[in-house]
Amino acid sequence: MTDTNVRVRFAPSPTGFLHIGGARTALFNYLYAKKHGGKFILRIEDTDSERSTQAAVDAILDGMQWLGLNWDEGPFFQSQRYDIYKSYIPKMLEEEKAYRCYCKPEELDQMRDELKAQKKKPMYDGRCWEKRHQVLDQPHTIRFRVPEGTTVIDDLVKGQVTVDHKEVEDLIIARSDGTPTYNFVVVVDDALMEISHVIRGDDHLNNTTKQILLYEAMGFAIPAFAHLPLILGQDKARLSKRHGATAVQMYRDMGYFPHTINNFLVRLGWSHKDQEIFSMQEMIEAFNFEAVGKSPGIFNPEKLLWMNQHYIKEKPYTEILQGIEQFIAIPEDRKNSPLMEKVIDSLRDRAKTLDEFAKLCTFYTEDQLIITPEDQQAFLTKEAKPYVQALLAKLQELQDWTHDTLEATFNQTLEENNIKFKDLGQPLRIILTASKFSPGIYVILEILGKDRSIKRIEDVLAMM
């Protein structure tokens, strides 16, 4: 389905990290563009100079790159486009689609208070419209004249939404210092950037009528709209910090694959039969607005963890390796050894995150392991020491170092000492890996090889 006229945009305000909700909006835009062979545009809405920061811009770009949501055009910065926006104001005034409002803040406050007292919506009453022909040398804002009538938003997700213009006030499009305001700049940008589909959170639905009226006033073509349902926590409250990490980068730091995040996000408010696991290509092919739900998506961190665990089992070796290298340094020779792949495969069932996975790999990647005092006390006991010594003596003699011979040697030690597996197996596991959660001990011995295994047992015995 190639429609090169599809042009969508992600338009974050850089006031914080890339939030889970923002990332979902970016993803849906990206998927829609890819599906139709269109273009995905990144626009930074940084007109609020008090709240916008460079750090937030960097975090957004970084988060999107990490997720692989690569944009085709931009990033465009609204703060660099004021002259473009302002250039549309004179014509609006001339055509009487906008007018100067000389009301002072106190006057506006009083007007709102009076309306509230009458239980009416506190909207600007348009009083300066009557005086539109007198131009005074006084501070003023520019207001858009909302025409009478109704607007029907034909939303691709919400269906038809009808708004009576009586509900829409004459909004300010330029402040008294001449700077253009939010809804106005969004419309100018979406029009000039030839956006075909505006895909965004449904918290913006309220702005859509105003924006449609502005498109009409300026003679621009109106794009299609798709408003995505909110994302809520499991308690049905709006997703916030108290539901856990909401910044995308935090999931990178916790050891999630970017693909896990995309897969998880695509199911927040969209479904495809009962499929949960999607490759990027599958998401692109299956994505459509018909299957975007009207009700909120529920953020379930356990499901996210489950998905990551799924990908830890499934992802190709190189991707796992790349993932764990964010957390541990692996000496080149060990990394390039075929044993590295064996290490990874032996651990796939034991980790849910790349961070955990990396820790489990340290038995192979590092020489100095740190055994916790608790593990020392519990497993490296006086009783265990002679058994470890007995095993060591046998291992030193062992010529043929294979899984089978190691198993036989180990079992022989158990028999000769009349002990059970755990009496020697657990201490040995701690000695070799500093962890209670490792693959089978013969696999570890095999992977470490004779010299490293023996050295490690000797070193630990010396402190037992």
Binding-site member from 33, 101, 186, 330 for ligand GLU (CB under 6 A) = 186
Write out the two tokens for 450: 């004779």
User: Which entry of 241, 273, 382, 420 is annotated as an active-site residue?
Assistant: 241
Does 422 qualify as catalytic in the annotation?
A: no
Binding-site member from 31, 45, 67, 356 for ligand GLU (CB under 6 A) = 45
Segment interacting with ligand GLU (CB under 6 A) among 7-15, 240-248, 252-260, 411-419: 7-15
How is 290-355 classified by DSSP, letter by letter? TTB-SSPEE--HHHHHHHHHHHHHHS-HHHHHHHHTTT----HHHHHSTHHHHHHHHHGGG-SSHH
Binding-site member from 6, 12, 187, 363 for ligand GLU (CB under 6 A) = 12
Answer with the entry of ligand GLU, Zn ion, none that 186 interacts with (C-beta below 5 to 8 A by kind): ligand GLU
Q: CB–CB of 357/322 below 8 Å?
A: no
Q: Look at the block and give the residue holding tokens 């955990």.
A: 356
Q: Look at the block and give the residue holding tokens 């036989």.
A: 408
Residue type, 187: V
Answer with the entry of ligand GLU, Zn ion, none that 11 interacts with (C-beta below 5 to 8 A by kind): ligand GLU
Which of positions 204-223 make contact with ligand GLU (CB under 6 A)? Answer: 204
Answer with the entry of Zn ion, ligand GLU, none that 128 interacts with (C-beta below 5 to 8 A by kind): Zn ion
CB of 211 to ligand GLU, least distance (A): 8
Binding-site member from 7, 19, 140, 200 for ligand GLU (CB under 6 A) = 200
Please tell me whether residue 8 binds ligand GLU under the rule CB under 6 A. Answer: no
CB of 183 to Zn ion, least distance (A): 18
Segment interacting with ligand GLU (CB under 6 A) among 8-16, 69-77, 140-148, 382-390: 8-16
CB of 174 to Zn ion, least distance (A): 13
Binding-residue total with ligand GLU (CB under 6 A) = 7
Q: How far apart are CA 116 and CA 131, in angstroms?
A: 25
128 phi/psi in degrees, rounded to 5: -80, -10
Which positions from 127 to 146 touch Zn ion by CB under 5 A, shown as an x/- string? -x------------------
**What does the H/E/C string look like for 213-239?**
HHHHHHCCCCCEEEEECCEECCCCCEC
Answer with the entry of Zn ion, ligand GLU, none that 101 interacts with (C-beta below 5 to 8 A by kind): Zn ion
Please tell me whether residue 34 binds ligand GLU under the rule CB under 6 A. Answer: no
Segment interacting with ligand GLU (CB under 6 A) among 9-17, 89-97, 371-379, 409-417: 9-17
Write out the two tokens for 99: 């007018």
Q: How far apart are CA 142 and CA 353, in angstroms?
A: 54
Cβ count within 10 A of residue 145:
17
Cβ count within 10 A of residue 427:
24
Q: How far apart are CA 328 and CA 320, in angstroms?
A: 12
Binding-site member from 101, 157, 228, 434 for Zn ion (CB under 5 A) = 101
Dihedral sign, CA of 306, 308, 314, 317? negative
Answer with the entry of ligand GLU, Zn ion, none that 200 interacts with (C-beta below 5 to 8 A by kind): ligand GLU
CB of 79 to Zn ion, least distance (A): 28
Q: Please state at what angle helix 258-266 crosses helix 301-314, rounded to 10 degrees.
A: 130
Answer with the entry of ligand GLU, Zn ion, none that 103 interacts with (C-beta below 5 to 8 A by kind): Zn ion
User: What distance lies between CA 78 and its chain's CA centroid?
Assistant: 23
**Site residues (vs Zn ion, CB under 5 A):** 101, 103, 128
**Site residues (vs ligand GLU, CB under 6 A):** 11-13, 45, 186, 200, 204
Residues designated catalytic:
241
